[in-house]
Structure 1
C-alpha cells in the first residue's frame, strides 16, 4: 500500500512538473533520432582504425564535439539518464548501475533491470516526458532506466528476459515486429550469450527502431547500441574486437539514416549520436575489501563477507560505504589515507567535493557512498574480499569505465546533424548535461531546471 501511494505521488509530481511546458510550441513536424553507441570514447573519432564512415559523414554535414564530459560514476545507467534529463546523477537519482543497500547490506543491480520501473528511480522529468506532455510522439528502444515509462508511445525496455521484454514492451509494437519478421523471441537467448550476443541484439534493436521510424514517424526516438561496450569490456579499448564493433555500430546508424530517408523524413530529422562514457584498458585489479579485511573492518569466509563495518562496491570507481554510523567520522579518518595509498588509486573524492561532480551525499540519499575512489589507467576496482592480495592480475587485457570524469579517457562522443543544425562546426568540449536541453530546443519544447544548456552555437 505504501509503495503504491509513493508511486502514485511520484507520478502526480512528474505530471505537475511537465504540465506547465504545454505552453511551449512543439515542432510537430520535426524529428530527433538519439542514438547512443555505448562505450564509444571520444578518441575513436580521429583514429583511422575506427571505421565509422556514417558517423563521420554526419559530423561533416553537421557538428561534433571533440570531447563530451561524462557524469560520475561514468557507467551506463547514470549517464544515459543524464543524457535525457540534463541534470547530474545526484539530481536525477540514478547514481550507478546498481546500488549498495545499507539496510540489507546487499547489492541491488539495475542491470538488466530486474526490479525498478522508470518512475521509481528517475526523480526529474526527461526530455521524452516533456516532449510527450507537449503532444509529441516518443519512442525508446532499450533505453536504460525507462522501463514502464508512461511517456513513451512505443518502447521495449533494457531488460534481459523474454518475460520482462514482453511484459514491458508496447504490445502493439511487439505484434508488429513479429509480423515484420524481427526476431524478438531471441532477446533472452542473445542476452544470455553475453558479449557474443550483443551484435545480434544491436541488429534486432536497430530493426525495431527502423520499423518505428517508417511506421509511426515519432518526433523523438532513442536507441541504445551495446556491442562496442561489450567488446571493449572483453578485450580492452582499441582492440581488434572493439574496432570491429565500432564498424558494426556505424552500420546500425546507417540503417536508421536509410530508414529516415525511406520514410520521407530526411529534411525534418536531426540525428544526435552520442556515447555514455569512454574506456580504459586494465590488467590490474585493486582490491580495497581485502585491505579493509586486513584492517579488521570486514570478516569473511573465502570470498563471502560475514560481517562488514566498511564495504567497497565497484561502479568502475570504488564506492566506499561506512556501515557503522556511530563511528562514521573516525572510521573515515582511519580508512581514507590507507585507501588513498593503495597502488593504482589516482583520485579520492570526499563528500566536500561531491557537488563538483554532481553527486549526492548520504545524508540526502542513503544509497550514496561515504567516499569514492578512482583508479589510474591500467587499473580497475574489484569487490573481491578473498585472499590477501591487494592487487590482482587479469588473465589478459580487459576494458572498463566508471572512473572519475576528471580522467580524459572517460570523455564521450557527440555528433549532431540534419534539420536545424549548422554544418562544419567543431566544438572543443561540451557536457552530457547539454544534450537534453538541446534536443528539447530542436523539438520546440523546453527543459527547465537543468544543469546543462542549449547548444545555441550549433543551431541554425
Structure 2
C-alpha cells in the first residue's frame, strides 16, 4: 500500500505541475518582525488543515491520534464547508471568516471580467498575488497587532493579502513529506520568545489527492489518513517535549469527498457551446455560465430550464438558495456568472473526450453529507471531552482570533458566539 501513497503523491504533484515547475523549497523570512511584549504572553495556536478529510474519516479509518486528541478536547459532529465546497474558497474562508462570494475566491479557477484575467490555483503568479483575495487572514491580523505568525503552505499565505505576509512561510510545493513539515514547525517553536510565532497555519494535501484518484472508500485514502494522523501525533509529542505553555491545536478540513458517476457524466448543454454568446466554467460539480449579452439572460435561462434532464438543476444566480451565500447580492467581485447549473450527486458535468476523477467535492453539503468537513480542537484553552453539533466554517476565524487575543478590525460572516462555549472560562 505504500506504493499507492507514493503514486498518489506523484499524481498530485503532476496535477499542479505549472506551479511546481517554479517551486522553491526555501523558507521566506520577513525581516525585522518581533512579538510585542504583550504578544509574548498570549497562547499559541497551531491550525492544521488536512485537505479533503471528510467528517467521518477519523472513525472510518481509525485515526488513533486524532480520535484520542479530539476526545480529550472538543470535536464537532461535523463542520459545514461554505459553498461551493472546493479547496481554495474554503481554505480562504477558514482564515478570513468570509463566505467565498464575499472574499472573492469563488473557485479554484475563475475569470474576473473587470480585471480581464484568469485566477488559477495552480499558477504561482496568481496564487501569490494578494490583490485577488478579500478579507484579512489570521496571519495578517496577527502581524498587524504585533504578533509573529508562520504558515506551512496554507492557501494564499505567500501573498500580501490583507496587507501582511506571515513572518515565516514557504511558497507552495509538494516536495516536503508530512514528517518534514512537522520538523519545520517545531523549529519555529524553538525560536526565541520575541521571534517565535504564536499563530501557525499548516496544510496537508495527501488525503484529498487519494480521495480524488482512488475514491473515499479506497485503501489508498485510508493510508493517506493514517499518514497524516501519524504526522499529527508526532507534532503533538514534539510540541509537548518543548515544554511551552498554552499551545493549542485546531484541526480542520476544507470539505469532504464522494465517489462520483464518472462513467455516465452529464454533457455540457449544447446551447452553451456558442462561444459568441456564452462563457462557461465547469468545476464538474458546479457549472457557472456567463451570458455575454445581458438581454439574453432570461431567455437562455428558460431554454436551459426547459431542456434540462432530471440530473441537474438550473438557477438564475439571484435565485440560488439564500443559505448558500452565493447569489447575486453576495457576489461582491462579480465573478460568479448569471446562470448556475448544479448536478445531483453523484453526477458531474464533463466535456466530451475528457475523463473525470473517481472522487469529487463541490456539492452543497446540506444536500450531500459526504461534503461535510472535520473540526477537532484540543489544548489548555479548550474544554475537555466535549462534543458539539454542526456549525459553519466561517465561525473558526473569530474563535482563533479570540484565543490569540486579536481584535477583528473589519466585518466578517463568522460569529464568536457560535464557538465561544467550547473555550474554558478564564
- 1:115 is matched with which residue? 126
Summarize the Cα distance change of 1:331–1:349 in structure 2 as closer, same or farther, 3 Å threshold: closer
Unmatched runs of 5 consecutive residues or more in structure 1:
1-24, 161-186, 191-199, 300-305, 387-391
Summarize the Cα distance change of 1:352–1:283 in structure 2 as closer, same or farther, 3 Å threshold: closer
- 1:140 is matched with which residue? 151
In the alignment, which of 257, 264, 270 is matched to residue 236 of structure 2? 257
- State TM-score, norm by structure 2: 0.80
Alignment size in residue pairs = 377
1:230 aligns with 2:209: yes
After TM superposition, the runs of 4+ consecutive aligned structure 1 residues lying more than 4 A away are 101-107, 346-349
- 2:16 is matched with which residue? none
In the alignment, which of 406, 412, 415 is matched to residue 453 of structure 1? 415
Question: Which structure carries more strand by proportion?
Answer: 1
Summarize the Cα distance change of 1:111–1:349 in structure 2 as closer, same or farther, 3 Å threshold: farther
Query: For 1:104 and 1:110, how far apart are their aligned partners in 2?
Result: 17
Query: For 1:155 and 1:107, how far apart are their aligned partners in 2?
Result: 25
Unmatched runs of 5 consecutive residues or more in structure 2:
1-37
CA RMSD of aligned residues (A): 2.8
Summarize the Cα distance change of 1:214–1:104 in structure 2 as closer, same or farther, 3 Å threshold: closer
1:217 aligns with 2:196: yes
Counterpart contact for 2:265–2:349, Cα < 8 Å:
yes
Give a deviation string over 1:20-56, Cα, whole Å, max 9, x none.
Answer: xxxxx75733100000010001122332xx1311111
- 2:335 is matched with which residue? 367
- 1:152 is matched with which residue? 166
- 2:53 is matched with which residue? 40
Tell me how far 1:263 sits from its aligned partner.
Answer: 2.3
Counterpart contact for 2:42–2:405, Cα < 8 Å:
no
Summarize the Cα distance change of 1:109–1:151 in structure 2 as closer, same or farther, 3 Å threshold: closer
Query: Which shows bigger deviation, 31-40 or 341-350?
Result: 341-350
Query: Which shows bigger deviation, 132-141 or 277-286?
Result: 277-286
Give a deviation string over 1:211-265, Cα, whole Å, max 9, x none.
Answer: 2223353100000100000000001112111000000011121222123123222
Give a deviation string over 1:404-436, Cα, whole Å, max 9, x none.
Answer: 232221110000100210001101111101111
> How do 1:6-405 residues align onto structure 2 when only pairs under 5 Å count?
28-47=41-60, 50-102=61-113, 108-149=119-160, 150-158=164-172, 160=173, 187=174, 190=175, 201-215=177-191, 217-265=196-244, 267-284=245-262, 286-289=265-268, 291-292=269-270, 295=271, 297-299=272-274, 307=276, 309-314=278-283, 316-338=285-307, 341-342=308-309, 344-345=311-312, 348=315, 350-353=317-320, 355-359=322-326, 361=328, 364-382=332-350, 384-385=351-352, 398-405=358-365
Give a deviation string over 1:311-336, Cα, whole Å, max 9, x none.
Answer: 24226322222223332222122223
SS at match of 2:125: coil
- 2:4 is matched with which residue? none
Query: For 1:453 and 1:364, how far apart are their aligned partners in 2?
Result: 20
- State TM-score, norm by structure 1: 0.75
- 2:5 is matched with which residue? none
Counterpart contact for 2:280–2:287, Cα < 8 Å:
no
SS at match of 1:115: helix
